[in-house]
Structure 1
Amino acid sequence: MRKILLSLAIAAALSACGANTGTAPQSESPPATSQPTKQVATATQLDALYAEFWEASLKLNPVQATFTGDNRYNDQLPNFFSAEFRQQTKAFAEQWLAKVEALDPSGLDSSARISYDIFVNDLKQQLEGERYPRWMLPINQFGSVFSFLPQLGSGAGAQPFATVEDYDNWLKRAHLAVALFDSAIDNMRQGIKAGVVQPRVLMEKVLPQLQAVVSESADTSMFWGPISRMPESFPAADKQRLTEEFSKLINDGLNPGYQRLHDFIRDEYLPATRDTVAFSALPDGQAWYAFNVRNQTTTDLTPAEIHDIGLAEVARIQGEMRRVMEQVEFKGELSDFFKFVTEDAQFTFASEQALLDGYNGLREKIDAKVPELFSLIPKSPFEIRPVEAFRAKSAAGGQYFPPSADGSRPGIFYVNTYDLPSRKVWDMESLYLHEAIPGHHFQIALQQELTDLPAFRRFGGETAFAEGWGLYAESLGKDLGVYTDPYQYFGRLQAELWRSIRLVVDTGLHSKNWSREQVIQYMLENSATTETEAVAEAERYIAIPGQALAYKIGELKILELRKKAEQALGDKFDIRDFHAEVLRDGAVPLSVLSAKIDRWIASRQGS
């Protein structure tokens, strides 16, 4: 999820870009027909290059700097949707790739080689992705810069509002954000001409999201939060000035921008949207989807292979569910059990507060057991908050936002309380393990605290690793003192089943011509879900093709490597050491993870 959020924040201007335009080193006066001799790279030299790259990338992507707790660029916001910015990011990626590939990595040790290979791979993926006009699809119901801005400017997000300077920084940034509305509209108009448009069913959900941000007055706006919570210590003159300037920004800039985008989509874009939902229906769509699959899973698995893996996992997990049915002495078919656990009142929360209290109540129990499984434990705290009302209808059941690097802002586990009867008590323990401890907060916060890693790795991510780890974390529940209730263990199986179903339906949608309705029906028939969840999830897969594949593919790889280590090491296997080895290098492609666990096993066998 973190990779999605960062890409939303910077509008697909990936972090793999920089501002240094230095030339790559070459040998002196090479013959005209020979290739330049590469300079042998040292870890120190590459660390300096990565540091230079990171500084340049933050200047180009100032929102990413804000998210990492670097406040130097909090007043800046490029026009992410402009052709000039797209060309700039492409040129920078090409220049940085040339710089690093001019160096010979053959003499690097294992850790330094991992950084080199990830750096090169990220840049190549970015450039490969230039083939596909994602910029023509700047908004969908699952997320965009326009749903992200209210979070950033609410006073409760990554943008700080502690000093007068902080407030002025946001005013400058938000005024720059007004240009994004017209640039996005222009890009969508180009998309209409090129036949690259969103499905109608998604854009119908976007309209109420945009309208919800438009306020009748400035003081009822989502962007008014910093003013309503302005520190008492501010001088009176600044309080008055900031109040007036925020009011003008909202009334003359942001509200008209959201309304303008809303009206364009309603009147011009919606009639041009497509009835199809598959990426394969777009120009070059088959190749585009295959690229997404490779990028998200960090494997060479084809959509057809992933589809078959999903079918096999669905069948296996449903077998486990039948054993739970026997344990609780439920009489009937699996479909009857699904209906029971989704409709019986005992599995619903009495109120939103009861839901939040339930999640918060898991902290102490799980924290007490964590040291039995982990030697690497993050220091950063996290909070549990409900998803904001304006985006809750289309948001996932849980989302995680990482903390700032300096610890001044905690990680945030967002729990969706929309349609409260659809949020089940039995879903609580597995979702907590996935999003909080020892899942996303654990892995991402720990990665940011690994100060020996280059910054592009500390604050970067691989979806298959991060989401695979989150799903793997759910499998540790019994060792962490939860899943003692068979229905909570059923919730764990349901969560795993859900990720396995994603392998079937995401590939079904985008490579096998499944319809939206076919996907929803498959989810309803094969899992314990509500129609609200099924619709939101189906439309998520339509909006971000391939991303949902990363969870199960990543989890299967981690489980495979753990089994391999247990079998190879026998009595020498230590779960705390295994988890430390998986986590100590941060998020890496699955092929890199596999190779480093193999080396770790070999080192343990020889000890």
Structure 2
Amino acid sequence: MLDLLRAAAALSLFSTTMALAQEPATLDQMAAEYRLQTIADDPIVTYFSGLPPSHNDRFADRRAAALNASDAWKGVMLRKLETIEADALTDQQRALRAVLLEQISSDLRLRVCRGELWNVNHFTGWQALLVPVAEGQPVATTKDRTEALARWSSLPAFVAVEIANLDRGLAEHYAAPKSVVRRVIAQLDSLLPANGAAPPLLSPATRSEDPEFKRRFAGVVDEDVVPALRQYRNYLETVYLPRARDGVAVTELPDGRACYQAMLRANTTLDRTPEQVYALGERAVEENLSAIRAIGERRFGTTNVLEIVDRLKADPANHFESAQDLLSFSRAIVAKAKIRTATIISALPRQDVVVEPNRSGDEAAGVSSHYDINGDATAPATYRLQMGPWKTQTKGEATIVAVHEAWPGHHLQIAYAREQQPSRLLGDLVMNSAYVEGWARYAEGLAEDIGLYEGDDARVFRRIWPARGMVVDPGLHALGWSRQRAIAYLVSTGRFDDARADEMVDRIAVLPGQLTSYDSGALEILSLRREAEAALGPVFDLKGFNAAILAPGVVPLAELRRHVGTWIASRQGHRKD
């Protein structure tokens, strides 16, 4: 999972802003204004988007007045965008208009969720982002250090607003699930000093060579940050947890059905109902199961999917001896994948990616493996590896996750886009999961094309999970599934034990609709590839097709289809059969 999704999901649900300073007149001006306003809304988004940090003296303002101001300026911009005719634009401008329309419309639709009133979660909650913000806080100049002191000394006021919002939410029947609240409490415990150890949020002080700043920042952490975190933790445990929800479905909340529909659109950029997503997912799952049965019949003489999975998992050669073994294996796979990816991409991006264990707080909360962007293109990005499941995870599963997060998955797509389009007005602020996660899921198939999966273990597990998210996510949120049914469904895939299935249910709970995005996007990319292969025949070029998918950057799926259709038409003149 791309780590930017954590920040982007938080921003889309909980962002605030100033009023527009002036009415932008052109698409470029609108994009620039959107970028500036978005960063002003929540400055920490720059720490996850690859943009230079700015407004480093504060956290977001999440009071009601600021949220209303956000709605107002976005409404003005949306009305202006709707007056611009797409047919009169260049290809690049048309893509920019589509991106802005989708993003701003999505932001406004999501307001029905009232996310600020139940903002307790271990993926996009503010506490989950504090360590990387501390690690990225600039401290090089006097101005930087002054801003650092201002930001972190303001945390008590920020926490007071969060608690007030949660109190209001409880009064209006909004609450997070109990299971999620417990995970957030565990995260907060990891942020607090224990056994004399230094708090992990001291990074700005440890990176600075200014002794006075070191002293003052340590004082801010001791006197402001730690007490605020303790206050929030104790509030969650003593006040909030007893009143939190037993269930996990977003449809349990006021306007929950409308909220889930908005979440589906935000994550997939498609207008599909939960029932339509569920049905499409079931069809795709059955296609994958048919392929698994064929592998099982060849390998084991059986078409029983669970037996195939069990026999592969029972092979000791498919497992790791330690957490370090998992880490070393993943690093070797990423290195091999980089070499093989060069055969299906016209030019690899220069930025590399390294594999490191999850941060301790994320590991404690059960946060899955994910990709961390690095805005400095001369330094590597990071694939953060969840170490906990090393005893149950197979080598094939670890290979698939490494492919998804690094080469040719998230890292390739993100780094490629930034090198090919270095002057993009919106940077990585605007994104949608269907494109980003869709490419990464599609990349899992590309890895099979280039021979990265050396055994049936990976070939089976590549197919056992895809499209399941399109079933379990709407099942849990909109179609009445219980937590127990969702866990049983996840365990039945053979990919999850009970503990990991429990973690996945809580992830689905705090990111409604997000798990449907992977295969909504991947199925669209595969559909476009089949159309291109049929239209172009012998002149179809996989490198060219992949470049056509990557070229426009992160765009809504409808815009991606239009772009690839134009590419196919341009290539048809070369066909001579």
Which range, TM-score by smaller chain? over 0.9
State whether structure 2 residue 452 is matched by structure 1 residue 482. Answer: yes
In terms of mean alpha carbon deviation, does 310-319 or 572-581 score higher?
310-319
State whether structure 2 residue 501 is matched by structure 1 residue 527. Answer: no
- 1:456 Cα shift? 1.6
Which residue is 1:83 aligned to?
Answer: 64
| Larger gyration radius, structure 1 or structure 2 | 1
Which residue is 1:127 aligned to?
Answer: 108
- What's the TM-score once normalised by structure 1's chain length? 0.88
Which residue is 2:431 aligned to?
Answer: 461
Whether contact under 8 Å (2:14, 2:115) holds in the other structure is: no
Supply the AA of the counterpart residue of 1:499.
Answer: P
Q: Runs in 1 of length 4+ with deviation above 6 angstroms?
A: none
State whether structure 2 residue 297 is matched by structure 1 residue 326. Answer: yes
- 1:163 Cα shift? 5.9
CA distance in 2, matches of 1:194, 1:422: 42
State whether structure 2 residue 572 is matched by structure 1 residue 605. Answer: yes
How do 1:402-481 and structure 2 match up within 5 A? 402-404=373-375, 406-451=376-421, 454-456=424-426, 458-481=428-451
User: Cα 1:56–1:212, aligned 2, differ >3 Å: closer, same or farther?
Assistant: closer
- Unaligned segments of structure 2, at least 5 residues: none
State whether structure 2 residue 529 is matched by structure 1 residue 562. Answer: yes
Among 143, 146, 158, the alignment partner of 2:127 is 146
- 1:208 Cα shift? 2.0
State whether structure 2 residue 45 is matched by structure 1 residue 12. Answer: no
User: Cα 1:508–1:581, aligned 2, differ >3 Å: closer, same or farther?
Assistant: same
In terms of mean alpha carbon deviation, does 539-548 or 70-79 score higher?
70-79
User: Cα 1:131–1:332, aligned 2, differ >3 Å: closer, same or farther?
Assistant: closer
Supply the AA of the counterpart residue of 1:483.
Answer: Y
User: Cα 1:159–1:348, aligned 2, differ >3 Å: closer, same or farther?
Assistant: farther
SS at match of 1:215: coil
Which residue is 2:480 aligned to?
Answer: 513
CA distance in 2, matches of 1:352, 1:284: 44
CA distance in 1, matches of 2:219, 2:132: 19
- 1:20 Cα shift? 3.6
How do 1:481-500 and structure 2 match up within 5 A? 481-493=451-463, 497-500=464-467
SS at match of 2:113: coil
CA distance in 1, matches of 2:214, 2:518: 45
CA distance in 1, matches of 2:314, 2:23: 64
Which residue is 1:178 aligned to?
Answer: 156
Supply the AA of the counterpart residue of 2:131.
Answer: P
Whether contact under 8 Å (1:464, 1:554) holds in the other structure is: yes
CA distance in 2, matches of 1:169, 1:355: 40
Supply the AA of the counterpart residue of 2:544.
Answer: D
Which residue is 2:45 aligned to?
Answer: 64
CA distance in 1, matches of 2:378, 2:162: 33
Supply the AA of the counterpart residue of 2:382.
Answer: I
CA distance in 2, matches of 1:523, 1:590: 28
- 1:159 Cα shift? 3.3
User: Cα 1:436–1:567, aligned 2, differ >3 Å: closer, same or farther?
Assistant: same
CA distance in 2, matches of 1:541, 1:67: 21
Supply the AA of the counterpart residue of 1:298.
Answer: T
Whether contact under 8 Å (1:3, 1:462) holds in the other structure is: no
CA distance in 2, matches of 1:83, 1:451: 37
CA distance in 2, matches of 1:165, 1:362: 43
In terms of mean alpha carbon deviation, does 406-415 or 577-586 score higher?
406-415
- 1:533 Cα shift? 1.4
Whether contact under 8 Å (1:306, 1:503) holds in the other structure is: yes
Supply the AA of the counterpart residue of 2:109.
Answer: E
CA distance in 2, matches of 1:298, 1:104: 20
Which residue is 1:546 aligned to?
Answer: 513
CA distance in 1, matches of 2:408, 2:548: 15
User: Cα 1:369–1:274, aligned 2, differ >3 Å: closer, same or farther?
Assistant: closer
CA distance in 1, matches of 2:10, 2:248: 25
CA distance in 2, matches of 1:175, 1:150: 15
Which residue is 1:250 aligned to?
Answer: 221
- Unaligned segments of structure 1, at least 5 residues: 26-44
Which residue is 1:41 aligned to?
Answer: none
Whether contact under 8 Å (1:11, 1:81) holds in the other structure is: no
SS at match of 2:122: coil
- 1:361 Cα shift? 0.9
Supply the AA of the counterpart residue of 1:135.
Answer: E
User: Cα 1:92–1:379, aligned 2, differ >3 Å: closer, same or farther?
Assistant: farther
User: Cα 1:360–1:164, aligned 2, differ >3 Å: closer, same or farther?
Assistant: farther
Which residue is 1:210 aligned to?
Answer: 188
CA distance in 1, matches of 2:562, 2:326: 42
- 1:252 Cα shift? 1.3
CA distance in 1, matches of 2:563, 2:557: 10
CA distance in 2, matches of 1:453, 1:581: 19
Whether contact under 8 Å (1:218, 1:251) holds in the other structure is: no
Among 253, 259, 263, the alignment partner of 2:234 is 263
User: Cα 1:103–1:595, aligned 2, differ >3 Å: closer, same or farther?
Assistant: closer
In terms of mean alpha carbon deviation, does 351-360 or 507-516 score higher?
351-360
Which residue is 1:199 aligned to?
Answer: 177
In terms of mean alpha carbon deviation, does 338-347 or 135-144 score higher?
338-347
Q: Which digits, 9 at most, give the CA deviation of each residue in 1:502-545, with x for residues without a partner?
A: 11111111111111111001111233321121111111111211
User: Cα 1:264–1:56, aligned 2, differ >3 Å: closer, same or farther?
Assistant: closer
- 1:169 Cα shift? 3.7
SS at match of 1:397: coil
SS at match of 2:384: strand
- What's the TM-score once normalised by structure 2's chain length? 0.92
User: Cα 1:116–1:218, aligned 2, differ >3 Å: closer, same or farther?
Assistant: farther
Which residue is 1:221 aligned to?
Answer: 199
How do 1:308-457 and structure 2 match up within 5 A? 308-329=279-300, 333-342=304-313, 344-404=315-375, 406-451=376-421, 454-456=424-426
Supply the AA of the counterpart residue of 1:151.
Answer: P
Whether contact under 8 Å (1:3, 1:461) holds in the other structure is: no
CA distance in 1, matches of 2:9, 2:502: 22
Whether contact under 8 Å (2:24, 2:33) holds in the other structure is: no
User: Cα 1:364–1:210, aligned 2, differ >3 Å: closer, same or farther?
Assistant: closer
Whether contact under 8 Å (1:217, 1:251) holds in the other structure is: no
Q: Quote the RMSD (CA, aligned, Å).
A: 2.5
CA distance in 2, matches of 1:174, 1:11: 23
Supply the AA of the counterpart residue of 1:438.
Answer: P
Which residue is 2:470 aligned to?
Answer: 503
- 1:63 Cα shift? 1.7
CA distance in 2, matches of 1:103, 1:170: 42
Q: Which digits, 9 at most, give the CA deviation of each residue in 1:320-345, with x for residues without a partner?
A: 22333334437694323433444554
SS at match of 2:453: coil
Supply the AA of the counterpart residue of 1:7.
Answer: A
Number of residue pairs the alignment of both structures matches: 573
SS at match of 2:420: coil
Supply the AA of the counterpart residue of 2:396.
Answer: W
